[in-house]
Amino acid sequence: MISLLGIYRPGTTPLHKASAGLKSLMLLLTVVITMVVDDPVTSVGIMCACLLLLVSTAPPAKPTLRAMGIIMVVAVLTVSFQLWRGEVERAIDVAADLTAIAALALAISCSTPMESMLDLVSRMVRPFGRILPPETIGLMFALTLRAIPEAARIFIDARTAARARGLERDPRAVLIPGATRTVGFALQLGQALHARGIAEEAKPERAEKKSRKDRRSEKAAADAEASQTPLVTYSTVPTTTAEVPSDAVVADGAASAEDGKPSSEDSSGVTPTTEERTQST
Amino acid sequence: MIEFKAAAVTAPDSGVSILDPTTLTLNEDRISIIGANGSGKSTLARLINGLVLPVTGSVEVDGLDTVKQGAKVRRKVGYLFTDPTSQLIMPTAVEDVTLSLRRIIDDKSERTEAALTALEEIGLGGKGDVSVNALSGGQRQLLALAGVLAVTPEVIVADEPTTLLDLRWRAHVGALLRTLPLQVIEVTHDLDAASRAHRTIVIDSGAVAFDGDPAEAVKFYRDLMFGRPTRTADA
């Protein structure tokens, strides 16, 4: 079973206590420093520090070794290439940089619950809340991470099935079922989100907009009451705006959700057409 | 109360009927839906929480229309899938339940505590920090159920929740669903489980073929499956 995720283990180490933001910043700084500094001694020092940090979080052995193993393969290939070119110092620097970044990333994964990362992403995109709903972006981040091991598992299954049919040399026998099943998994995941009502909670900004509209209509109603103008009730709203005071038209719009039209939490207030409904099946 | 008012579903491109216009009122605490593969029973179940929307007619849960007030309906109606793998989103058990709770509990520590309690109650105490990949199929289904129950729905629609489970987990999850203090609508191929409901609906070729007493419904279904020549036999 592939388990790139679920590497997190609760603990009380300094890295566990640090905030997700600080740890992400630390990772970013390490990446920048390793890219800027070409000195192999410094790179080896940073690598040792990162490896110690990883060990300090007491990571689960099997997935950690597997993840580090993949990085080691890449590092060995890169080092071989550099050595072939006769650049020994460069080879040490590149290998140390790769190992350092991988170890720190694993240390952070091991000491940070996904929910904290989700909160961090949501906080980071909050200033852009009008364009990008923070909860949705956070959820996208979580779903992306969730999909990686599942997609890998699907392709491994497809490869095994192709081998069982004697089609291991035919890439179509792996790619076509792999791609189809990955899309199927994405659809199932989408349905599960829908069923759990998770995607629907991610619309606070829209809800806020609606409430502003409500406030405007309330203000309009209060103004109308203050001026003692007879206000048209929702049940007797005339069909033409010519018959309705301008204030009452606003009130009618605000009331539409309660009167049976889609509420703001339902797909931005647009009634699905027959075609849209059918597509959702 | 769940009301189907001539709700019908057709295939998007071909227009082939998946579920004929169906009118039903579902009041009983335990309702089972049985039928052959592809008969339309899952479609009927998915209509209840708006996962599938009716092309004509409507479905209402406590007066809330699944098309117009889908989000409110889904807060009342929890849905349990056959394969829990696609229902679990977060990497660990406690985080997955916490994700469900985000919409009702703001405080993070309270949320985590509530998630741990939900796991404890369902029998997954101590599994909170375990990767969902490391759980068995039965444990994953329990976790999916914990995620649904954590947000206190009034109705649970379970679409063949025990189909992928071994005998032990099937009995465990089945017993758990029977003891829940809320309305449970279960789509199942397990005729023993179906006969324990208060009411059983048999779906055949996209229409309600029988609706009533579970024992009679199971007998009707058996006759339908074995008493009538199949298309293959005809050929």
CB contact under 8 A, B55 and A193: no
Q: State the average pLDDT over residues B129-154.
A: 89
Listed in sequence order, the residues at least 6 apart from A35 whose beta carbon sits closer than 8 Å to its beta carbon are A97
Residue A228 — very low, low, confident or very high, per pLDDT cuts 50/70/90? low
A189 neighbourhood in chain B, CB within 8 Å: 86, 89
Q: How many residues does chain A have?
A: 281
- B18, B52, B67, B107: which to substitute to probe chain A, counting the most A Cβ within 10 Å? B67
| Alpha carbon distance A119, A117 (integer Å) | 5
Searching chain A, which residue's CA lies closest to the CA of residue B131? A6
Instruction: Work out the pLDDT band at A237, boundaries 50, 70, 90.
Output: very low
User: Can you give the pTM of this predicted structure?
Assistant: 0.68
The pLDDT assigned to A199 comes to: 61
The per-residue pLDDT for A270 is 40
Quickly state the pLDDT bin for A235 (edges 50, 70, 90): very low
Q: Which of A114, A193, A198 sits opposite B95 (nearest CB)?
A: A114
Locate the domains of chain B by residue range. Answer: 29-39+71-200+207-228
Q: Classify residue A227 by its DSSP letter.
A: T
Distance in angstroms (rounded) separating the CA atoms of residues A267 and A279: 15
Report pLDDT for A221: 61
B207-212: strand order across its sheet: B77-80, B155-159, B183-187, B30-35, B199-204, B207-212
| Partners of residue A274 in chain B, C-beta under 8 Å | 55
Q: What's the average model confidence in pLDDT over A36-42?
A: 89
- Measured between its terminal Cα atoms, the distance across chain B in Å is 44
Q: Quick one: which H or E segment has residue A273?
A: none
pLDDT for A281 beyond 60: no
Number of A–B residue contacts, CB under 8 Å = 137
pLDDT of A262 above 60: no
Q: Which residues of A touch B52 (CB under 8 A)?
A: 280-281
Judge whether A262 is closer than 8 Å to chain B, CB to CB.
yes
> CB distance from A196 to chain B under 8 Å?
yes
Encoding tokens for residue B32? 């089972």
Q: Which residues of B touch A195 (CB under 8 A)?
A: 49, 51, 74, 78-79, 81, 87
User: How does the average pLDDT of chain B come out, rounded?
Assistant: 89
Instruction: Choose from A3, A196, A201, A279 for mutation: most chain B CBs within 10 A.
Output: A196
User: What integer pLDDT is reported at residue A121 of this predicted model?
Assistant: 82
Average pLDDT over residues A242-268: 38
Q: Does A231 have pLDDT greater than 60?
A: no
Least confident of A18-27, A248-257, B31-40, B80-89: A248-257
Q: Do A6 and B131 touch (CB under 8 A)?
A: yes
Task: Write down the pLDDT at residue B133.
Answer: 80
Task: Record the tokens describing residue B35, joined without a space.
Answer: 């039928």
pLDDT of residue A11: 82
Confidence of residue A64 (pLDDT cuts 50, 70, 90): confident
Band the pLDDT of B158: cuts 50, 70, 90: very high
* Cβ contact A6–B133 (<8 Å): yes
**B91–A8 C-beta distance less than 8 A:** yes
CATH of B29-39+71-200+207-228 among 3.40.50.300, 3.40.50.720, 3.30.1510.10, 3.30.1340.30: 3.40.50.300
A141 touches chain B (CB under 8 A): no
